[in-house]
Structure 1
């Protein structure tokens, strides 16, 4: 269906400051057996500090024509330093990038296709790029311009501003505040305060989502109908293991066991046993047998310790001597480097079911490309530039930053009251948000082969939240086949869509 409208340069003056000009096009798509007309827009929202422009936050929205006050969902990814392109073109948007059924990248050239699993069927969508990602840039405080373009021109440089100026938004609390400011302004600008509001985020974006269930409602007055937390890092302390703690090693064990099962390396697989049953046995073993060994070490007794560690090695498909020497603490990078090393292959950290030829088989370090994170960048890069410049009609010379390692490396924790305060997490905020709004639904999900943010952490955390019976009914935990971006798997993307369609419909019926 040809475009019916092409509105370029939707530039609006925000106070005394003119941001770059956006663009909008009307489209038509078939979703859920019905034809839908919708508007696809790309634009910037000016964020302010002391009434002066501080940043231009870029966003892409899809809104059903004459849809009224239907639900609206604000979406962001993580990193920190990631744009929203992954959820946008991987799962939710009306167009999606093409992937093979197992989530691997097809050969170039890469193109887009209509997404039959788009959430646009049941909610309007706003994809937000945090400052320093996508086309979002800080504004020079002294000169009132971004980079070397300035004053609304769209020929800005890629970086936008110097590191020190940019870093104001590269902090935990300040980042959340910028998202809260954006969402509040968007609802006001588009008169959507009466719409059911949802937020959805992946990875560090899942951390953001959980934190925002408190901040958005308490500090910005935005009532939430739902929060979708995808492949989250809920507690930072669970991401970094050592010789003196146990939880990271515990959480990654079932996922490594699942990978060993898939790649035919497990020595604990039972005849006719399916993968999920095997993973449950591995999780039970980790909790009941491995955990005491990890926690007590030599206090457990040498013989009993060796017996448990040998059993652990059978689940993981590694040599018994290796797991015993490591005292059961098998680093995920060691695992993905060595499980199939005899075949010259290594696995992915973000999806351990995938494997790739190891370019450095003689080296002990894991330095090859991740078959998920690195192999899909080109697919999303082609997709977002096609969508913006061809299907939305945006004219800009800014480079779309998919993932900024500069942002990631400069990220700061601005919530610590003391240097020794180490507990940085989002679960307390989620519990607070659920208490603040007992009607808010929460959906927490992972991919079962993700070693970076393992699913078993969510299983444990959800059972440690001390929720009441009514609150437990509002929290759903589910995990899909696939890795960190499980929605690149065809079957998982479709099931995710069905689950979300059910979640939104249940909210509309209540």
Structure 2
């Protein structure tokens, strides 16, 4: 590996901090820097990351967790400033967005209590960029005339190339900081959960990195479950329980049982035992049986039975979000259907406003991460921090292996292989109950199809919390999740 790149590398920042908790203070060092990736001894990219390393005097190394978000095209700021890092954004009790400006507070549920943390921004997100050969000798912190993606950068916007870059980054970090003997964990949210499932195999099989644990947060594991059509069945069934839970939250469902959990259980049973056969039989099912099923569905998800019948039981998430509270001229969020917003165009046939649970968060996380990096951690750069890079999202390539390029890409097979390659690795999958985009029941359904050997099945934990895609913005859910993760880490390294 060439050392010539170090002379033009961007300026890193190392600072020391204290996180005060009820049971004592955590003294830690924060390292914010760019780590180059090389190809044929030439730098081809600079991966920006922030590491939080606790001052540790013990004889055994602390766990180290690599964290990334999804998109693809999302920076790690969501988990960094929303749940895991030493500082977090202040939300309302149930994830409500508070008035500007954003308020950043000490995170008493930071995972620094039980693991060192490393937040990674893949190429094209955050401050991470590809390096063009002709710019390698340029001034390190010179802002380019345009930050539009170049051909060199788009090379990283593909499933396998992205995984390879992350694998190389992890290898290099472990070597640079002498952490090869630490218990290693990986955690990812949304498409980041897809990355975790893939890396659970690839890191161990191709990069020699043994894993103690893998945490998948609101993951999208099989892309075939994300797009419903007239000709598939499972998509409609896996999202229905999230609709039922959201309807119950807004007091629009005819509650099946005494509480939310019994209502969800009824919706899950309906989805598997009634909805899938209904969709599978289509017009072959007698009319009276179809109408009975439509009525059951309407009661569970809080929509008029005429609407359910008109859609043939195939209720899309956009339809649900628009129609559930239509009489109040409000819509619910796709990423968190517990959150509502005023419908700016109530008289139009299709919803034309924005999603309050995605677009509404940008102002919070953009302000928080820029203040934290540039102020608290002392990062000096003229680069724009790409919180969610839509150029990356739109250009991403999902290329399948083999000669035929049809179908959808998935990650469950890789997770299964990773769990058998290393029968000691613990896996934790978690969702928000009101997330319509990556619904919790999809992961439940996939877990039931994994055919895990009895020797490794206990290594898989599935747990869901009230809230949406970022359920940790809910006060109670974040507290519960923190307690569970502390137990998870203790179990994984025991």
TM-score norm. by structure 2 comes to 0.96
Aligned with residue 140 of structure 2, among 134, 152, 160: 152
1:340 and 2:328 aligned: no
In terms of mean alpha carbon deviation, does 127-136 or 95-104 score higher? Answer: 95-104
Partners of 2:4 and 2:399 in 1: how far apart?
29
2:157·2:397 contact (CA, 8 Å) conserved in 1?
yes
Partner of 1:200: 187
In terms of mean alpha carbon deviation, does 116-125 or 416-425 score higher? Answer: 416-425
1:172·1:415 contact (CA, 8 Å) conserved in 2?
no
Displacement, 1:263? Answer: 1.4
Aligned with residue 335 of structure 2, among 336, 343, 350: 350
Aligned with residue 81 of structure 2, among 81, 85, 89: 89
Aligned with residue 13 of structure 2, among 23, 39, 43: 23
Aligned with residue 166 of structure 2, among 169, 172, 179: 179
Partner of 2:245: 258
1:31·1:121 contact (CA, 8 Å) conserved in 2?
no
Aligned with residue 37 of structure 1, among 27, 33, 42: 27
Displacement, 1:157? Answer: 5.4
1:132·1:407 contact (CA, 8 Å) conserved in 2?
yes
Q: Deviations over 1:372-404 (max 9, x none)?
A: 211111111111011111111111111111001
Cα RMSD for the two superposed structures: 1.6
Partners of 1:99 and 1:481 in 2: how far apart?
15
Relative to 1, partners in 2 of residues 1:13 and 1:109: Cα closer, same or farther, differing over 3 Å? farther
1:17·1:53 contact (CA, 8 Å) conserved in 2?
no
Displacement, 1:303? Answer: 2.1
2:56·2:62 contact (CA, 8 Å) conserved in 1?
no
Q: Which runs of 5+ in 1 are unaligned?
A: 1-11
Q: Deviations over 1:220-261 (max 9, x none)?
A: 000000000000000010001100001110011111111111
Partners of 1:308 and 1:382 in 2: how far apart?
48
Partner of 1:62: 52
1:72 and 2:64 aligned: yes
1:117 and 2:109 aligned: yes
Secondary structure of 2:379's aligned partner: coil
Partners of 2:143 and 2:415 in 1: how far apart?
40
Secondary structure of 1:290's aligned partner: helix
Partner of 2:308: 323
In terms of mean alpha carbon deviation, does 114-123 or 413-422 score higher? Answer: 413-422
1:473 and 2:471 aligned: no
Aligned with residue 95 of structure 2, among 92, 103, 123: 103
Displacement, 1:269? Answer: 1.5
1:17·1:151 contact (CA, 8 Å) conserved in 2?
no
1:165 and 2:155 aligned: no
Partner of 2:418: 433
Partners of 2:302 and 2:365 in 1: how far apart?
34
Secondary structure of 1:110's aligned partner: coil
Secondary structure of 1:40's aligned partner: strand
Q: How does 1:216-227 map to 2 (within 5 A)?
A: 216-227=203-214
Partner of 2:255: 269
Partners of 1:419 and 1:38 in 2: how far apart?
50
Partner of 1:368: 353
Partners of 2:131 and 2:110 in 1: how far apart?
34
Partners of 1:274 and 1:426 in 2: how far apart?
34
Q: Deviations over 1:405-442 (max 9, x none)?
A: 11000000234323443141000000000000001000
Relative to 1, partners in 2 of residues 1:14 and 1:57: Cα closer, same or farther, differing over 3 Å? farther
1:74·1:199 contact (CA, 8 Å) conserved in 2?
yes
1:385 and 2:370 aligned: yes
In terms of mean alpha carbon deviation, does 65-74 or 344-353 score higher? Answer: 65-74
TM-score norm. by structure 1 comes to 0.93
Q: Which runs of 5+ in 2 are unaligned?
A: none
Displacement, 1:36? Answer: 1.5
Secondary structure of 1:470's aligned partner: coil
Aligned with residue 276 of structure 2, among 251, 269, 291: 291
Relative to 1, partners in 2 of residues 1:262 and 1:451: Cα closer, same or farther, differing over 3 Å? same
1:209·1:229 contact (CA, 8 Å) conserved in 2?
yes
1:156·1:397 contact (CA, 8 Å) conserved in 2?
no
Q: Deviations over 1:62-90 (max 9, x none)?
A: 00123562100000000000000000010
User: How many aligned residue pairs are there?
Assistant: 491
Displacement, 1:111? Answer: 2.2
